[in-house]
Structure 1
Amino acid sequence: MTDASKSALILIEYVNDWLSPTGGIYPSFQDRGQVDTAIANSRIALAEARRRGMHVIHASLKFEPTFKVLGDGKFGLRKMMRDYGSFLGEQADFFPGFEPGEGEHVVRERAGGSSVFVGTTLDGYLRNNGIFDVYLAGFSLRQCVESSMRHAHDLGYHTNVLYDASAGYTRKQQDDFLAEIAPFYANAMKTQDFVALA
Structure 2
Amino acid sequence: MTAPSKTALILIEYVNDWLSPTGGIYPVFQDREQVDTAIANSKIILEEARRRGLHVIHAALKFEPTFKVLGEAKYGLRKITRDHGAFLGEQADFFPGFEPAAGEHVVRERAGGSSVFVGTTLDGYLRNNRIDEIYLSGFSLRQCVESSMRNAHDLGYHTNVIYDASAGYTRKQQNDFVAEIAPFYANAITTQEFLAQA
Give the TM bin, normalised by the shorter chain: over 0.9
Name the CA distance, whole Å, in 2 between partners of 1:46 and 1:60: 16
What is the TM-score of this pair, normalised by structure 1?
Answer: 1.00
- The structural deviation recorded for 1:30 is 0.2
Code of the aligned partner of 2:49: A
Per-residue displacement from partner, 1:67-109 (whole Å, max 9, x unpaired)? Answer: 0000111110011100000000000000000000000000000
- The structural deviation recorded for 1:5 is 1.1
3-state DSSP class of the match of 1:65? coil
Code of the aligned partner of 1:179: A
Name the CA distance, whole Å, in 1 between partners of 2:93 and 2:114: 18
3-state DSSP class of the match of 2:110? coil
Residue ranges of structure 2 left out of the alignment (5+ in a row): none
Code of the aligned partner of 1:136: L
Per-residue displacement from partner, 1:129-171 (whole Å, max 9, x unpaired)? Answer: 0001000000000000000000000000000000000000000
Identity %: 83
Structure 2 equivalent of residue 9 of structure 1: 9
After TM superposition, the structure 1 = structure 2 runs for residues 155-174 of structure 1, keeping only pairs within 5 Å, are: 155-174=155-174
Residue ranges of structure 1 left out of the alignment (5+ in a row): none
Structure 2 equivalent of residue 100 of structure 1: 100
Per-residue displacement from partner, 1:17-59 (whole Å, max 9, x unpaired)? Answer: 0000111000100000000000000000000000000000000
3-state DSSP class of the match of 1:87? coil
Name the CA distance, whole Å, in 2 between partners of 1:76 and 1:179: 25
Code of the aligned partner of 2:80: M
- The structural deviation recorded for 1:173 is 0.1
Name the CA distance, whole Å, in 2 between partners of 1:183 and 1:147: 14
What is the TM-score of this pair, normalised by structure 2?
Answer: 1.00
CA RMSD in angstroms, aligned pairs only? 0.4
Name the CA distance, whole Å, in 1 between partners of 2:90 and 2:4: 33
Q: Does 1:178 align with 2:178?
A: yes
Code of the aligned partner of 1:55: H
Runs of 4+ in 1 over 2 A off after TM superposition: none
